[in-house]
Structure 1
């Protein structure tokens, strides 16, 4: 196959989508296909204007200059080229190839739902709503889709005007570095790297400051657990540097000396963090998939997560589940207390109970095999091309 993959520009410092596009590209090349990655270049964006204007200059690069470039490039491509959109947020470019073989990978529709006021925790500005409408009107012209979860597929169908000819679910494949190892060795390494005493274990969260990651909830659970029980294990929040809100929340905590934000770690240190953790806290309010759940299980870590899709879809029966965090302040306190009980249940498991859950997590994580995912995607790509090669009646 001759494949063109559209992805986000790198000048906005997006991490996950360019990584996903690279994974697609490398996977298809290994299967013998010809692949190009197309994304906007920073032309207006490079102008020496204040940061306030950079986002809008970037939009000029994405939605004025790049479409002109796409139209020119398409003329040089064979008719059977497959155009792949690495993310549904690239919807504005879909109309440019809507009459050609194409497919759209869908990760989540949280921004879309927020723009329709369906998610009170994430209000959207007037301009943001218009931008999400622009995206929606674009991907609605698409005909073929791959979603990362059944939850994402369900959200997709709620936005489309008709049922697409092809719409499949393919779980992304786990990076093979996520695998079990020696717990003590990981704790020794991290204790040295982070200059903390982690030898007795620790509670772990991995994620950014996005509203749906619920880092505030992680700290609320930790505070409730420390107040109610006698353990003094520290909390590590690995990922993005904390927001001002998070820093203020930690500063007000009686246990602030045991709450640590860790940024700038590489993938291998993340693997060690999973391996050495006593429990992985992932009380997300929403997700498109929930990668860290599968990563933690593949590394042999016990998981506590939210009892809602897609977290339940990813976790299977191998995680401890808690309700989604409520919005009412009084209810939040009870929620944190109940979640603290769930943490304690994991911490105090017998060896046999712990081993049983860990083994179930291993088995569950096998669903997310990278080679199988790539092969499945290739099969769908070929099916899409086949629909365009059939003679019309």
Structure 2
């Protein structure tokens, strides 16, 4: 079996998708398969026309690259399977629709937004056209792998053709996480960040995507601090805050205890999870929800949203669930007050109760094993070739 892996071009600036594609390529190569990576290269994109750079990139992706693919296809042997690392690469699917192929699906947030199903994320007219272009492309595909049952359900609802095979293969954790001593982890992070974390802290890990609900994190934290004498800092680990998030921060009565941590190195990420009192992760939606699995692997209790795929990732470790933040801002105060009770519950856990949470979480993450994930992919790829 030979594998041609379609991936996003480097110039689109994605971070998670190249890592995912690399995991696929490295994993299949370690199993002894020849893997070729096909992706557009910048030509028009490199021209010095900054205002229309995105559109020049589209020329490279959807006019120039397909011509190169058609030429390369003539040299491919019959034992080749064409793998798309992301369903957003849908416009290229018709190029190989009559050949063995499979499409990895992550989330359909952008498409659902374009269809008006996500009021928090309105889409422009051109954005709606682009998402329809992607949808029509992946709808020509017949074989799919989804990273969660939620993603698979969305696929079946949004696919406009017929699907021959569709399976769920949970992602494997893409680096090692383990339970570290909480006090040692806090001391390590304390010294690195120069913040007093000795009593613990509330942790959030994520970017500025609308669905990460970082403003909601601050709202819940503020509501909790208003009802307790316990003082624990809030660490928001991830991207630099955008303007709307800065506004929420400036309005907080507890902003001196809210810290944005950017560029945290991998060696400290494990310590951040292990030393945290809890992970506060009230996402509006996800394709998977990596921080949930990572936190459980580090022995950190998780507060997250009572809906798929967050509950799916938690498995039996769903002790501390909150409702999805309402779109209507007038209801947000009631929501945050109710959600903040989960922080109080975790703070008041006995040692035995906390250990039970940790043990259950460690059991739940066993399904997120990289070797298991790659073995499932290999089997599915081989079945399609047959």
TM-score by length of 1: 0.96
Q: Which residue of 1 aligns with 2:376?
A: 376
In the alignment, is the contact (CA less than 8 A) between 1:157 and 1:163 conserved in 2?
no
Rounded to whole Å, the distance in 1 between the matches of 2:346 and 2:253 is 23
Distance 2:267 2:89 in 1: 31
Kept in 2, the 8 Å contact 1:177–1:268? The answer is no
Cα deviations by residue, 1:305-353 (Å, 9 ceiling, x for unpaired)? 0000010100112131111111222321111001111110011100010
1:228 alignment partner, SS class: coil
Q: 1:75 is matched with which residue?
A: 74
**Secondary structure of 2:378's match?**
helix
Distance across 2 between alignment mates of 1:176 and 1:252 = 37
Equivalent residue, structure 1, for 2:252? 253
Separation in 2, partners of 1:42, 1:213: 31
Q: Which residue of 1 aligns with 2:25?
A: 25
The 8 Å contact of residues 136 and 160 in structure 2, kept in 1 or not, is answered as no
Shift of 1:79: 2.0
Q: Distance in 1 between matches of 2:83 and 2:373?
A: 16
**Deviation at 1:268?**
2.3
Could you list the per-position Cα deviations for residues 351-382 of structure 1 after superposition, in whole angstroms to 9, with x for gaps in the alignment?
A: 01000011000000111011001001100000
- Give the Å deviation of 1:298: 0.4
Whole-angstrom CA distance in 1 between matches of 2:135 and 2:183: 49
SS in 1 for 2:3: strand
Aligned residue in 2 for 1:300: 299
- Residue 76 of structure 1: CA displacement? 1.2
SS at match of 1:346: helix
Matches within 5 A, 1:185-334: 185-319=184-318, 320-334=320-334
Distance 1:74 1:185 in 2: 55
Give distance in 1, aligned partners of 2:162 and 2:370: 28
**Deviation sequence 1:251-287 (CA, Å, 0-9, x none):** 1111111111111112222111111100101100001
Pairs within 5 Å for 1:320-359:
320-359=320-359
Give the SS at the match of 1:118: coil
Aligned to 2:169: 170
Runs of 4+ in 1 over 2 A off after TM superposition: none
Question: SS of the residue aligned with 1:161?
Answer: coil
* Offset, 1:176: 4.4
Q: Secondary structure at the match of 1:100?
A: coil
**Alpha-carbon distance, 1:195 to partner:** 1.5
Cα distance in 2, alignment partners of residues 162 and 350 from structure 1: 53
In the alignment, structure 1 residue 4 sits paired with structure 2 residue 4: yes
Q: CA deviation at 1:77?
A: 1.1
Distance in 2 between the 1:294 and 1:75 partners?
42
Equivalent residues of 2:80, 2:100 under 8 A apart? yes
Q: Secondary structure at the match of 1:84?
A: strand
Consecutive unaligned residues of structure 2, counting only runs of 5 or more, are: none
Q: Which residue of 2 aligns with 1:362?
A: 362
**In structure 2, the residue corresponding to 1:156 is in which secondary structure?**
helix
2:198 maps to 1:184: no
The offset of 1:162, in angstroms, is 4.0
Q: How many matched pairs?
A: 385
The answer as to 2:146 corresponding to 1:151 is no
SS in 2 for 1:93: helix
Relative to structure 2, which stretch is displaced further, 368-377 or 154-163?
Answer: 154-163
Residue aligning to 2:141: 142
The normalised TM-score by structure 2 is: 0.98
Query: Residue 217 of structure 1 contacts residue 336 of structure 1 at CA under 8 Å; is this kept in 2?
Result: yes
Q: Deviations over 1:137-160 (max 9, x none)?
A: 000000100000111011000112
Deviations 1:37-80 (A, max 9, x none): 11111111111222x32111111111111111111111111122
SS in 2 for 1:64: helix
What is the alpha-carbon distance in structure 1 between the residues aligned to residue 160 and residue 71 of structure 2?
A: 30
CA distance in 1, matches of 2:131, 2:174: 31
SS at 1:317's partner residue?
Answer: helix
SS of aligned partner of 1:168 = strand
Contact 1:109 1:155 in 2 (8 A): yes
